[in-house]
Structure 1
Amino acid sequence: MKKSWLVVLLFSIVGLLAVGCSSDEASGDGGKTTLTFFSTATTEDDKAAIDDAIKKFEEEYPEIKIDANYPADGYEDMLRVKMAANDMPDLFDTHGWAKLRYGDYVEDLSDMDWVKNLDPALDTILKDDSGKVYAYPLNQAKDGITYNANLLKEYGIEPPTTFDDFMKALHTIKEKSGGEVTPLWFYGSDKSAFGQYFDQLATPLLITDKEHDYSEELLDGSFDWSNYTFLPEKLKEMQEDGLLNKDALTAQIQQQATLMAQGKIGFTFGGGSIGPAVEKLNPDVKVGVIPMPAIHEGDKPSWIGGERHTVAVWKDTKHKEEAKKFIEFLAQPEIAKDIAEGTSLPAGLANVDADNYFAEYYKEFKDVKVYPYFDRVYLPSGMWDVMGSTGQELISNSMTPEDVSEKMGEEYKRLRKQ
């Protein structure tokens, strides 16, 4: 019995030593440095573009391994836990919150060569007055609404410039397709799909029109959230009129490109990568993009944008040199071009001219003003989740449009105090 106990003890010690060795190797003490990298990329094409760059980096620097993670809609909660524990990934995506949320956790990158080529449009987002640079931009966003250009042409629909015309276009698609085409499609199993709807339309509703500009009230905390009710009302109206996919609460983003390629979707709030993804599946289907339609009479359409995907370095990482080496690699013009084109978005560097899928549309609407994401400027941290979850509850009939606005107001006040 005593001998058996000693054997068990011996194996336990060996096991602990093995775990210790594995941990050392993973942290860089075993000859190869592993850097953890968390990204908000969700579409397969976006992840593929980033993974391809990682593969090329690891081939050039075999002594460094990049452990890439794509938590999708769990990203923010995961990073909040890591911030609270001061145990951040070596590299991570600041997804529009480089200064406001992650500012105290990022390494200053102002001494890096690529900074001189940073697109001036991103200066106020990624730099501060002291010259600190918070993250490297893999690309930058010009968000609008994507659509099946073949379908609109077939049905004689002009790409809408006003919200009223957008609603008319949705009804026309339903009628002329005999219900075979979903006018507006959501991948609502991920709450961010509804968050995107609210966030992109909040700007033309509450900011861009001079007579309906609530920017000061939103910033000082006095905003009356009944002014927001228009958005959930319209979303509920779309559902009741059969303009949304019936599985809006369970559909997944992976279905989006396939359905668009099959001619089953009219409009969607899809990311830049949907164009090339559809092209691979069906080259005959052309995907277009329009700026956000104006909601108020006399107002103009607007792009919603800023940083899309970035790479920041955790200020307390033990591997700053290796982390910066990875960013230096990403900032090489040919790599930056590949990522921008792979994600179908403009590059974040002014010296990189990316020929992406939507280039003709960006050129057509080059004079349309780009506004920053609504939640990043006017809402406290945490409101993105609220926008998404209230959208899900609205569609599931757990909330009325008025309930949505009331909930937004409550959370807005609560989170502002934190």
Structure 2
Amino acid sequence: MNKKIMLLTAAVFLTMILSACGNNSSSEANGKVTLTLFSTMSNSGERKAFEEVIREFEKEHQQIRIDANFPGNSYEDMIRVKMGANDMPDLFDTHGWAKLRYSEYVADLKEMDWVKQLDPSLDQILKDQDGKVYAYPLNQAKDGLSFNANLLKEYGIEVPRTLDELKSALLTVKEKSKGDVVPLWIPGGDNSNIAQVFDELATPLLITDQKHQYGKELENGSFDWSLYTPLAQFMKDLKDQDLLNKDVLTAKLSQAPELMAQNKIAFTFVGGSLGPEATELNSSIKVGTMPVPAIHKGDEQSWIGGERFTVAAWKGSKHLKEAKQFIDFLAKPENAKKIAEGTSSETALKQVKAKNYYSTFYDQYEQVKIEPYFDRKYLPSGMWAVMATTGQELLAGSITPEQLSKKMEEEYKRLKKQ
């Protein structure tokens, strides 16, 4: 190899290294700025609304381009790598961990105009005692169960209010459909959807009932994990009695709209755009939503929620000004409304009212209290993955309910020390 070629090769190699180590955002030769954005949105219907607003922003701000990424199940792993390298995306979703996990990476948004309109119920999640605002919430979650309203009417099933009533409803679906309808459908091909079920039901089991409140014990590390076993036993019983889909360990989230449209699902913990997508496939379908059922006698139902999707700005971004411009654009009333309706959720801004597919049901249950996600408030970071894998193992029959609780205890103690 001659000397000129060697020098050229070395220069190219050095350029590649410097490019790899640089900020995720970039300034192009023509003066345009590209902002990288990472989101946990995994549903195509939800992404559609968000991407439409992104395109409108790019039309209005022609010198700024948004490089939107939706890595799905890989999101947390990718972000952890970027956190370790201190090379975060310009804009990213804090997915419930704005303060606990991302606090040192996010820019303070408290001076932005939309903050005055933020729903106070989100203050404990997105603000600290000094008033710092960690992220902009694209919408608010009210998680519970979705159900096929037509099938429940056909089978004479009242919308369940308690876990016992839910179990009875599932048995009725199995009997009256002669096995043609899945009583409770879980897309466990991604085990985070199994974790979702455990996370939602842990709240009525361990938090909301006055005689069964263990929040302090969970927070200080003294919780008796045998109290978690009834939840694992409930899920095992559902599997043993064929009240779950037979492919619970392989079913994909993307299958939900079509199966609901075909009247193959009675209940599911899948929410979001499931209703509108299923109805688009079959106009006669009506998907309802309900709060999480109460477990203990005398307790009330509850929504599980907080912010669903957010956009935070990386404080180390070279284009923080442009990143905040994008967040301001998202917070315009017409855009906040479009995203909330596109994700079948409520807005996080007091002045903006969204009319979405589930509005009738949200109005019906407007007095029901919203409880924060169990893992986000009471468990150390990393426990979501533990709930996912232990739940998967339970449904696969490789561990018992008691063993599940023991594994949860071991990982809880280990992660709490970190």
The whole-number CA distance in structure 2 between the counterparts of 1:191 and 1:220 is: 28
Q: Determine the C-alpha separation between the residues in 1 that align with 2:217 and 2:374.
A: 14
Do 2:25 and 2:317's aligned partners in 1 also have CA atoms closer than 8 Å? Answer: no
Cα distance between partner residues in 2 of 1:315 and 1:356 = 34
Instruction: Report the equivalent of 2:178.
Output: 178
Amino acid paired to 1:109: L
Q: 1:112 to 1:229 in 2, by over 3 A?
A: same
Distance change (3 Å), C-alpha of 1:60 and 1:226: same
Greater mean deviation of Cα atoms: 383-392 or 21-30: 21-30
1:417 alignment partner AA: K
Matched-pair contact (CA < 8 Å) for 1:73–1:191? no
Aligned letter for 1:116?
K
Alpha-carbon distance between aligned partners in 1 of 2:372 and 2:73, rounded to the nearest angstrom: 21
- Counterpart-to-counterpart distance in 2, 1:384 and 1:299: 26
Q: Distance in 2 between matches of 1:153 and 1:317?
A: 53
Which residue is 1:12 aligned to?
A: 9
Structure 2 unpaired stretches of 5+: none
Counterpart of 1:415? 415
CA deviation digits over 1:11-33, x for unaligned, max 9?
Answer: 63685598599889962153221
- 1:391 paired to 2:391: yes
Identify the residue that residue 400 of structure 1 maps to in structure 2: 400
Instruction: Tell me the secondary structure at the aligned position of residue 35 of structure 1.
Output: strand
List per-residue Cα deviations over 1:55-87 (Å, max 9, x = no partner): 111111121111111122222222222222211
Whole-angstrom distance in 1 between the partners of 2:146 and 2:64: 38
Q: What secondary structure, in the 3-state scheme, does the structure 1 residue paired with 2:40 have?
A: coil
Q: How does 1:164-203 map to 2 (within 5 A)?
A: 164-203=164-203
Task: Give the conservation status (yes or no) of the 8 Å contact 2:38–2:89.
Answer: yes
Per the normalisation by structure 1, the TM-score is 0.96
Query: Which position in structure 2 is the counterpart of 1:87?
Result: 87
Aligned residue for 2:321?
Answer: 321
> What displacement does 1:9 show?
3.5
What do residues 64-112 of structure 1 show as CA deviations (whole Å, max 9, x unaligned)? 1111111222222222222222111111111111111111111000111
Give the Å deviation of 1:275: 1.0
In 2, Cα distance between equivalents of 1:69 and 1:26? 13
The Cα offsets for residues 377-409 of structure 1, whole Å up to 9 and x where unpaired, read as: 100011111111111111112211111101110
Specify every segment of 5 or more residues in structure 1 that has no aligned partner in the other structure, as ranges: none
- Contact kept? 2:25, 2:319, Cα under 8 Å: no
Partner of 1:28: 27
Question: One-letter code of the match for 2:58?
Answer: E
* 1:12 partner amino acid: T
Q: Is contact 1:26-1:32 (8 Å) kept?
A: no
1:265-304 deviation per Cα after TM superposition (whole angstroms, max 9, x unaligned): 0111112211111111111100000100000111111111
Of 308-317 and 66-75, the range deviating more from structure 2: 66-75
Whether 2:54 is the aligned partner of 1:54: answer: yes
Deviations 1:103-138 (A, max 9, x none): 111100011111111111111211111111110010
Corresponding residue number in structure 2 for 1:101: 101
Q: After superposing the two structures, state which structure 1 stretch, 286-295 or 38-47, moved more.
A: 38-47
Aligned to 2:265: 265
The one-letter amino acid paired with 2:26 is: S
CA deviation map 1:186-224 (0-9, x unaligned):
111111111110100000000011111111111110000
Matched residue, 1:226: 226
1:153 is matched with 153
Worse overlay, 67-76 or 268-277: 67-76
> Compared with structure 1, are the counterparts of its residues 26 and 295 closer, same or farther at alpha carbon in structure 2 (3 Å cutoff)?
closer
**Which residue does the alignment assign to 2:129?**
129
Give the AA of the match of 1:196: Q
Taking the TM superposition and a 5 Å limit, the aligned residue runs for 1:198-347 are 198-347=198-347
- CA–CA distance in 1 between the matches of 2:222 and 2:11? 63
Letter aligned with residue 264 of structure 1: K
Task: Find the aligned partners of 1:385 and 1:68 in 2 and give their Cα distance.
Answer: 25
Distance 2:227 2:385 in 1: 20
Counterpart residue number, 2:375: 375
Taking structure 2 as the reference length, the TM-score comes to 0.96
How large is the Cα RMSD of the aligned pairs? 1.8
| Deviation of 1:355 (Å) | 0.3
Report the more deviating stretch, 68-77 or 88-97: 68-77
What letter is aligned with 2:321? E
Q: Say which SS state the counterpart of residue 183 (structure 1) adopts.
A: strand
- Which SS does the other structure have where 2:86 is aligned? coil
Instruction: Tell me if structure 1 keeps the 8 A contact 2:195–2:388.
Output: yes
Residue in structure 1 matched with residue 40 of structure 2 by the alignment? 40
